[in-house]
Amino acid sequence: MGWTSESRYPRGVFGECLASEDAAEDDLRLAPDDRVTCPLHHRWIYRCVASPAHINAVTRHRWCRSCAVPLPVVIDEIAGTVTIVCTRCGDGGSPATTRLIAACRASLATSKQRARQPA
């Protein structure tokens, strides 16, 4: 995975982005919900948002309160779309989930942008 002994961050543009977001979050300059990198999985947020670790029934991240079920994530990397909708009621939206979708879209866009630039 490219880990180095001197840093807990992976090398390259993703590692730099992760490190700067960690620092910004510690300084209260960035809300955890607005991050495009995941501090837990060390991936772009859109790549790991489907993990159960991103479900929170209290804050309603990926959680339908009316049905009391987790919401599945559908990511279309080509189209750049992120869909998080309850399969039972066809809704399940919450402010937290809306923000999560925005972060995933931003993460998709950022990772594509970075990939086009030489490292």
Q: How far is the CB of 53 from Zn ion (least distance, A)?
A: 6
Comparison of 1 and 117: residue with beta carbon closer to Zn ion: 1
Comparison of 6 and 92: residue with beta carbon closer to Zn ion: 92
Comparison of 82 and 86: residue with beta carbon closer to Zn ion: 86
d(CA 17, CA 15): 5
The token duo for 3 is 């880990």
Question: What is the contact surface with Zn ion in residues (CB under 5 A)?
Answer: 38, 40-41, 48, 64, 67, 86, 88-89, 92
Nearest to 36 by CA among 100, 113, 81: 100
Comparison of 29 and 65: residue with beta carbon closer to Zn ion: 65
Q: How far is the CB of 51 from Zn ion (least distance, A)?
A: 5
**What are the residues whose beta carbons fall under 8 Å from the beta carbon of 7, sequence distance 6 or more?**
15, 19
d(CA 9, CA 90): 39
Q: How far is the CB of 41 from Zn ion (least distance, A)?
A: 3
Q: How far is the CB of 62 from Zn ion (least distance, A)?
A: 11
d(CA 10, CA 1): 7
